[in-house]
Amino acid sequence: MKKIELHWRILLGLLLGAFFGFILSEIEGGKEWIQDWIKPFGTIFINSLKLIAIPLIFGSLIKGVSDLKDFSRLSKIGIRAFSFYLMTTVIAISIGLLIVNIINPGKSISESTRNQLVNEYISNTESISQTAKVQQDYGPLKMFEDIVPSNIFAAASDNRNMLQVIFFSILFGIGLILVSEAKAKPVKAFFDGFNEVIMKLVDILMLAAPFGVFALIATLIVESPNLDLFIALFWYALSIILGIFLLLGLYVVFASIISKRKPSVFIKGMAPAQLVAFSTSSSAATLPVTMERVTEHLGVDKEVSSFVLPIGATVNMDGTSLYQAVAAVFIAQAFGMHLSLEIQLGIILTATLASIGAAAVPGAGMITLIIVLAQAGIPEAGLALIFAVDRPLDMLRTVANVTGDAFCAVVVAKSIGKLGNPKIQEWDDNYIPS
């Protein structure tokens, strides 16, 4: 009997979790029961993915850089990766601005609804504003200063310091290139084996993915705010959803054209990673799954995926960039402000830079949005307007972030002749996945 493919199992878990959450949210004591007996399994699943994120980056980057043999290959991959990341980010922001200016979602917000939302979420707004103001007070080179850790063990203890781990891993890999092959061989052999073990742990964790997604979605449903608030923000949410689906469609089309494969190859190859991204709202937590799917199911050579994807998880935030552009214009519209073309071009630049500095964890885009609002002269209090629907939209923009990373990996691999046949072909009717 043919087994159900992983992405269908995860989707089934998602739908059952939503149904279960809706049913128990209508039963007295149901919310508390899910929080006590279901939510912990979702937390365990996310923690398990985060647990191997740092070891995965550490091992895969060191292996990937040291396998390049020389700096010319390193620079070739690095330059192309950053170029594509920058290009897709600008495209994402432009799509967001185009859609939000067509739909004009902020004009549907009434004065009473605006005041209700601001009053309900003002405490959250103040907390995020304080965090963002600290970031705004930093000098122009603060981001580069933070990339270099003073203690690698301290950096590796927090997933928010992923750029520091990436910096050390690349530096370590360069060191392996510079020493003699005889001395580097045992170290490289260790990291080759280390990387294989981590990837095998990813396979094991993915067996639990449908159950983890079930728990996460059921918890999200019962903990959601009043549904009346969602109705008031329908057009805002629709703008972001349309933008993200348009962006995802572009990924699929261009990945198909560039790789000369059917669109279904990219869609089915990335579906499990997208569903995990949707349920966790974290590019960092999804990274192990993304690497496994891109390497094993899209045919990207490990030399490329082990370098491009960890960096993409921290600096390539296409979904976050699109969201920031839409949110900024939406808030301005809600307060009756008109944003000139010059200001909106400034939003493109600021959102691009802000997305690079966004941590690959849930809700990080909300903090960097403050910087975008400040640049455009939009009231920070308007941040409270979008809190009610931020969580589900955060889930969707994480899908776009992860998919954008995979797309860039495919493009870079194809450009340097490192895109081969997938080791696992799920679209082959004769293949039965384990």
pLDDT (mean) for 328-343:
79
Residue 12: inside a domain:
yes
Residue 175: inside a domain:
yes
Structure confidence by residue, pLDDT tens digits, 343-376: 888 888 777 766 655 555 555 566 567 667 766 7
CB 129 within 8 A of CB 383: yes
Q: What is the mean pLDDT of the chain?
A: 79
Q: How many domains does the chain have?
A: 1
Task: Inform me whether the pLDDT recorded for 121 exceeds 60.
Answer: no
Q: What is the pLDDT of residue 300?
A: 92
Task: Inform me whether the pLDDT recorded for 143 exceeds 60.
Answer: yes
Residue 433: inside a domain:
no
Residue 431: inside a domain:
no
Q: What is the pLDDT of residue 117?
A: 56
Angle between helices 364-376 and 111-136 (to 10 degrees): 100
Q: Which alpha helices (DSSP H) does 104-141 contain, by range?
A: 111-136
What's the gap between Cα 174 and its chain centre?
Answer: 27
Q: What percent of the chain has pLDDT over 90?
A: 18
Residue 425: inside a domain:
no
Q: What is the pLDDT of residue 144?
A: 73
Q: 229 or 394: which carries more pLDDT confidence?
A: 394
Residue 422: inside a domain:
no
Task: State which residues form the domain around 283.
Answer: 6-415
pLDDT confidence bin for 248, thresholds 50/70/90: very high
Structure confidence by residue, pLDDT tens digits, 271-306: 999 999 988 887 878 888 899 899 989 999 888 888
| Cα–Cα distance, 394 to 254 (Å, whole number) | 24
Q: What is the pLDDT of residue 270?
A: 93
Q: What is the pLDDT of residue 138?
A: 64
Structure confidence by residue, pLDDT tens digits, 147-205: 788 999 988 887 667 668 878 888 898 888 888 888 988 998 898 888 788 878 877 88
Q: What is the pLDDT of residue 155?
A: 84
Q: What is the pLDDT of residue 385?
A: 67
Structure tokens at 369: 């949005």
Q: What is the pLDDT of residue 386?
A: 74
Highest mean pLDDT among 30-39, 204-213, 386-395: 30-39
CATH number at residue 275: 1.10.3860.10
What's the gap between Cα 265 and its chain centre?
Answer: 21
Residue 430: inside a domain:
no
Q: 128 or 93: which carries more pLDDT confidence?
A: 93
Q: What is the pLDDT of residue 234?
A: 77
What's the gap between Cα 248 and its chain centre?
Answer: 13
Residue 42: inside a domain:
yes
Q: What is the pLDDT of residue 36?
A: 92
